[in-house]
Chain A
Amino acid sequence: MAFSVSRNDVASGAIFVAFGAYFVLEATKYEFGTPFRMGPGFMPIVLGGILIVLGLAVAAKGFAHADTEEAVPWPWRGLVMVLGTIVFFAATIRGLGFIPVVLISGFVTALSSARNNPLSALAVSVGLCVLCYAIFVVGLGMIVPLFGPWLPL
C-alpha cells in the first residue's frame, strides 16, 4: 500500500503549529494573571495553545488521505520579484523618492510575469508612474518627495 499523505494539510498544520508556538513562547514572558484578573499573557497563551492543537489536528488528518490534485509549480519568479519589489519600495521610497521608486517597482513587478518582455514592462511602468502620480500626488495630495535625498539632483 502506498503511503498517502496530504502535503497541503501537513504544511498548513505546520504553519499553524509554528505560529501557535511563537505566540505561546513569547507570551510566557508576560504576566499570566488569574481568571479573575487576566494578565496580558492570558489570552495569547490560551489561544496559542488552541492553535497548536488545531494545527496538529489538521496535520494528523493529512496523514489519512492524499491530496486530490497534483501540486501546482511554485511561482518562484513571482514570489521573489513581487515580494522583493514591496520590500524595495518600503526601503527606498523615502530615500529615492516617488518617481524613481514607482518606475523601478512597476518595471520589476511587470517582469515577474512570463508574459511581459522588457519593452512591455517598461511601457507598463511608465504608464503606472503617470497614473499613480495623477491619483495620489495630484488627486489626493499625498506628501512624498518626488525625487529623494539620495539622488544628486
Chain B
Amino acid sequence: MDLFSSLGLGFSVALDPFNVFYCFVGVLLGTLVGVLPGIGPTATIAMLLPITFSLNPETALIMLAGIYYGAQYGGSTTAILINLPGESSAAVTAIDGYQMARQGRAGPALAAAALGSFFAGSVATFLLAAFAPPLARAALSFGSPEYFSLIVLGLLVSIALAHGSILKALAMIVLGLLLGMVGQDIYTGTPRFTFGLRELFGGLNFVALAVGVFGIAEILRNLENEREREVGVKAVKNLWLTRDDFRRIAAPVLRGTVIGSLLGILPGGGHILSAFASYSAEKRLSKHPEQFGKGAIEGVAGPESANNAAAQTSFIPLMTLGIPAHPVMALMIGAFILQGITPGPNVINEQPALFWGIIASMWVGNLLLVILNLPLVGLWVKMLSIPYRVLFPAIVLFACIGTLSINQNIFDIYAIAFFGLVGYLLIRFGCEPAPLLLGFVLGPLLEEHLRRAMIISRGDPMVFVERPISAALLALALAAVLIAVLPNIRRKRQEVFVEDD
C-alpha cells in the first residue's frame, strides 16, 4: 500500500461522521479542561482517559488524540492570559505571550499560537505519515537488546530535560521503574510487592498513579498557599494578525516546525526541549533580541510551532516501537492497552484502519482546533475566572469517579490517595514527577527486554555493545547524560529556566 492509498483509508475512518463528532468532542473537552489553570495536558488526559473507555478503539484513540492537542492548546491559552503554564513546554510561551497580553495584544498572541500550531501540526503529521511505516518495518528487526538500549536512551534523555537536580530526576526514574515491577512477574508468575492483595497482581493502576501524582499532588500544592489568580485580560479583541505580524512570525514558525519535528522523535520529552530550543534560536537570530521577554511575537510563534510539531512527531516512537516519548504518550500506551491493543510495529499491519485513522484524524483535529478556538476564546477567558475553590473539589471527584469507572476496582481509589501523598511530598521536596511516570510505564518493558536479551545471549552482557544499533543507542544515552552533567550546559539550562519564573 503506498502512502496515498493508506491516507485515503485513514481519511475514510477519520471523516466518518461519528469519528469527526468524537474528535470534536475530544478537542473541545481537551481545551476546556486544559484551559483550567494548573492542569496541564498530562493531568487533563489522565482525567479524561476513563470516558473514552466505552468507545470502540478507533474512536477512543481519535478522541484521545483530540483531547491531547486540545489540552496542549488550552495550556498555551492559560499561559498567555494569566502566565500560569500547565506544563513546562508552555512555560516558554508564557514568557512573551503574557507580556503581549499585558500590552493588550492577547489576541495576536493567541492567533499566532493557533496558526503556528496548526501549520506545524499539519507538517509534522505528514512527516509522521511518511516516516512511520518504514520505521515500523525497521523496528520489526529490533531484537530485545535494541529495545532495551532504546528504553535506556529514552529514560536518560528525559532527565536531561527535567528541571533542577539530575540526581533527583534519576532517582525518580528508578522509583518509577520499581513501582512498575509491582504485580506478577512476567516469566515466573510470582506475585511481587503485592502485600498479598489480589488487586495488585495485575500491577498498580496507571491512571490512579497518574491522577495521584499529577492531579491530587498539584491540588495539595495549591492549597499550601491560597490566593486567587488575577485574570489580567477581561476580553480579547483584535484576534487577527496584521501584515507586519505575519511577516514577523513566518520564519519563526518554519524554524520552529523543523526544530520541533526533529526533536519530537527523541524519546524522553523532546517537546519541552524543542520549545526551549526554538525560543533560544529565535532570540539569537532576531535583530531585536532585547524585545524577547518583553512581548516579542516571534517568542510565541516559534516555540508554539516547535511544541506542536514535536507533539505530533512524538507519536512516531509510540506507533512504531511502542515506546512513549513523554508522559502523555505513556498515557496513550495506557489507552491502547485498555483497548486491548499492544502498541508497536505490528499495529500498522494488523490494524491499518486504526493506524491511518489516527493519523488522518490529526489533521481533522488540528483544523477543528483552529475553527473552534479563535471564536470561542471569550468562553476560555470566562473559564479562567472560575475560582479555584470551586475547581479543585471537581477535580478530586472526577479523579475518583473516573478511575473507579475504568475497572470498578475500589483499590485503585486508595492508590490515588497514596500516590497523591507520595507525589506531593516528592514535589514539595523539589523532585519532578514526569520522570517517575515515564519510568513506571517503561519499567515492565525494560525488565522484559533485559531478561530476554540475557537469555538469548546466554548471560553475556556484551550483547548490548556488540550489536551495532544497540551500541549506537547506548552511546547516545551516554552522551545525553554527559551533556546534562557538563557544567556549561548546566548553567545554560538554569538560565533558560530562570527566565520563565
Interfacial residues, chain A to chain B (CB-CB below 8 A):
8-9, 11-12, 15-16, 19-20, 23, 26-27, 30-31, 34-40, 42-44, 47-48, 50-51, 54-55, 57-58, 61, 72-75, 77-79, 82-83, 85-87, 89-91, 93-94, 102, 105-106, 109-110, 112-116, 120, 124-125, 128, 131-132, 135-136, 139-144
Q: With contacts defined as CB atoms under 8 Å apart, how many contacts are there between chain A and chain B in the complex?
A: 197
Contact A131 B394, beta carbon cutoff 8 Å: yes
Out of A78, A94, A131, A141, name the residue touching B410 (CB < 8 Å). Answer: A94
What separation, in Å, do the CA atoms of A27 and B401 have in the docked complex?
A: 34
Majority SS of interface residues in chain B? helix
Q: How large is the interface on B (under 10, 10 to 19, 20 to 34, 35 or more residues)?
A: 35 or more
Output the least CB separation between A130 and chain B (Å).
12
**How far is B416's CA from A105's CA once the two chains are assembled, in angstroms?**
15
Closest beta carbon of chain A to B288's beta carbon, Å: 33
The reply to whether A86 and B417 contact each other, CB–CB distance below 8 Å, is: yes
Q: Is the CB of A47 within 8 A of B421?
A: no
In the bound complex, how far is the Cα of B451 from the Cα of A31, in angstroms?
A: 14
Residue among B220, B402, B410, B450 making CB contact with A43, cutoff 8 Å: B450
A34 touches B459 (CB 8 A): yes
User: CB distance A82 to B420 under 8 Å?
Assistant: yes
Measured between beta carbons, the chain B residues less than 8 angstroms from A75 are: 220, 223-224
- The interface residues of chain A lying within 8 Å CB-to-CB of B190 are 30-31, 40
Smallest CB–CB gap between B252 and chain A, Å?
34
Quick check: B389 and A16 within 8 Å, CB to CB? no
- Complex interface: chain B residues within 8 A of A85 (CB): 396
Closest to B409 in A: A90
B379 touches A (CB below 8 Å) = no
Judge whether A77 and B223 touch: CB under 8 Å.
Answer: yes
- 1/0 per position for B141-160, CB-CB distance to A under 8 A? 00000000000000000000
B171 proximal to A (CB < 8 A): yes
Chief secondary structure at chain A's binding surface: helix
- Tell which of A26, A34, A57, A112 touches B193, judged by Cβ atoms closer than 8 Å: A26
Are the C-beta atoms of A110 and B416 separated by less than 8 Å? no
Contact assessment for A16 and B171 in the assembled complex, using a CB-CB cutoff below 8 Å: yes
Question: If A58-B167, A106-B393, A115-B389 touch, does A35 touch B459 (CB 8 Å cutoff)?
Answer: yes
Residue of chain A at shortest CB distance from B414: A90
Contact A83 B420 (CB under 8 A): yes
Interface residues in chain B, defined as those with a beta carbon under 8 Å from any beta carbon in chain A: 50-51, 54, 165, 167-168, 170-171, 174-175, 177-178, 181, 185, 187-188, 190, 192-193, 216, 219-220, 223-226, 228, 387-390, 392-394, 396-402, 404-405, 408, 410-411, 413-414, 416-417, 420-422, 424-426, 428-431, 447, 450-451, 454-455, 458-459, 461
Give the residues in chain B near A106, CB-CB below 8 Å.
393, 397
CA distance A105 to B396 in the complex (A): 9
Which 10 A-B residue pairs are closest in the complex by CB-CB distance? A36-B459, A78-B223, A90-B413, A12-B429, A40-B185, A54-B171, A86-B417, A109-B393, A75-B223, A113-B389
Query: In this complex, what residue of A is CB-closest to B413?
Result: A90
B219 touches A132 (CB 8 A): no
How far, in angstroms, from A112 to B398 measured CA to CA in the complex?
A: 17
